[in-house]
Structure 1
């Protein structure tokens, strides 16, 4: 058995990671967001933050098969491309912060950012920014920095997309595809800065099956007529995850 796989399977928090990633995948499948918001607060409380972020970036690649093909046709491809290019520019700074910061700081940052995002979503706050090229580039760059440092590529872009005034189907598709592709594009920067180690690769692969299964379950559950219910369920799970991940419990 490869050494990296042995190390991944021997992690004390593996069962917690498996449960968290299954729930995260399910919510992502029916709500179109929330996977990292659910998984990462729990994950960084169980394993080193850089391991959690790198592993989840690998795991999220499964959405290229389970989610992206169905959603891609509904995306605004110009807007999506601008956001992704700008995010790539921000990743190096964010990953450097992840690599350099104390673990407890990252844990607080992850749970705090998730709680702030949840509060904004529940309150109905949206980024009142016209969806022009400059705004997209700024949002994408901010997403890259935040995503590189915490693995959370969603918060900034979710609030931006919700306030962009696009049809609901386009907003959901843009968010789904951006979150998946940004996780994939984060991997080269993690590798360049030495965080994409064998243990992270193997852990990410171990988590792929429950995450992909969750995606399928979530997609099967999705009913446009119950979007409000799905959103409330997602919010409740996100909030619980953020609270569980707070460093005060350790």
Structure 2
């Protein structure tokens, strides 16, 4: 009898803990949606850096890709005519080649290893954004392809391939309209590539799709609120605040991961 009560308590506690995790994820997704609505970037990085602390990376990365596709689909159809297609094609060629490698790492490595990798990537990319770095060399087809390869690995392993591409394209001679449209199409296509690769590796299961659909509403509400706040908040200050938050979250993940290795 005691054993049955103990088992029942364990099951109930597990269900409550799981509900708590998904409620917390919904809050994180809504907050990241506000950021996306305000400044147009940082959604994936914020969700991954936060949620990977308590949800397996192999679950959160494909989920973020699904949410990014949903968030980008309307913008992709309305802005595609303004995109710089030649650079975009080379970027996506590299991304298509390298994304499966990133996803393979997501499957092959342990959750602890991937958390450490995610935190390290986001920390480095956030420092890059904070530094205001711009590419100073001659931009060639090889430059776009190489950036696409790097972004593909980042995208497959952590769903944050958009950060290096956004930083790189900001230093290329594109109008703001072209830059925005090119980034929107890149995010949309890169996440489709990620979903296809994740499906091929068995990561995209029915339960994950259901949970992703549940997260669409908080994301949409967050984006809508962010769009309203866009005209009331200082974009530069908010951008710096987001980068600071990414640095804090990724540093927390790095310290936690390294301590885990030292203790074990």
Are residues 1:179 and 2:187 paired? yes
Please identify, of 49-58 and 217-226, the stretch whose mean Cα deviation from structure 2 is larger: 217-226
Flag the 1:72–1:216 CA change in 2: closer, same or farther, 3 A.
farther
- CA distance, structure 2, for counterparts of residue 25 and residue 85 of structure 1: 28
> Runs in 1 of length 4+ with deviation above 4 angstroms?
9-12, 223-226
List alignment gaps of at least 5 residues for structure 1: 1-6
Give the C-alpha shift of residue 246 in structure 1: 4.1
Matches within 5 A, 1:64-213: 64-213=72-221
User: CA 1:57/1:225 → structure 2, altered by over 3 Å: closer, same or farther?
Assistant: closer
**Counterpart for residue 55 of structure 1:** 63
Report the Cα offset of residue 38 of structure 1.
Answer: 0.6
Task: Tell me if the contact between 1:86 and 1:137 (Cα under 8 Å) persists in the aligned partners.
Answer: yes
**CA offsets per residue over residues 174-222 of structure 1, 9 Å max, x none?**
3333223311221111001111111221121111111122222223333
Aligned-pair distance for 1:10?
4.2
CA distances 1:47-81 after superposition (whole Å, capped 9, x unpaired): 11110111111111211345434543442122223
Once the two structures are TM-superposed, the CA of residue 160 in structure 1 deviates from its matched residue by 1.2
TM-score of the two chains, using structure 2 as the length reference: 0.82
- Following superposition, the deviation at residue 46 of structure 1 comes to 1.4
Q: Secondary structure of 2:136's partner? A: coil
Contact preservation (8 Å) 1:49, 1:106? yes
TM-score, reference length from structure 1: 0.86
Instruction: Give the number of the structure whose alpha-carbon radius of gyration is greater.
Output: 2
2:12 is matched with none
Between 201-210 and 232-241, report the one with greater CA deviation. Answer: 232-241
Count of aligned positions? 243
CA contact (8 A) 2:101 2:156 kept: yes
Cα distance, 1:247 vs. partner? 5.7
SS in 2 for 1:45: coil
Counterpart contact for 2:103–2:197, Cα < 8 Å: yes
More RCO (CA 8 Å, sep 6+): 1
Mean Cα displacement is larger for which, 24-33 or 223-232? 223-232
Structure-1 separation of matches of 2:108 and 2:156: 12
User: Which shifted more, 104-113 or 75-84?
Assistant: 75-84
